[in-house]
Amino acid sequence: MQLLAQEDEMAKLLMTVLGIGYYSALLIVSEVGDINRFPDSYRWTDTIKTQLSWDNLSW
């Protein structure tokens, strides 16, 4: 499973968030799928980035 996570771009990005490992990243990717299918996907990702910056975490 770790190999799958390393090959998936979205999973790799998710694993940069403190506390998200390969298993959680793959779970999120499998549940959400393509984030761009949501009409407000850009606004949602901007909100997440803002929240992470307030928490002094990196995106």
Cα within 13 Å of Cα(16), Cβ side: 10
Domain ranges of the chain: 2-54
Q: Does the predicted TM-score (pTM) go above 0.85?
A: no
Q: Which of 26-30, 34-38, 39-43, 52-56 has the lowest mean pLDDT?
A: 52-56
pLDDT tens column, 32-50: 887 777 676 666 666 666 6
18 vs 38: CA distance, rounded Å: 25
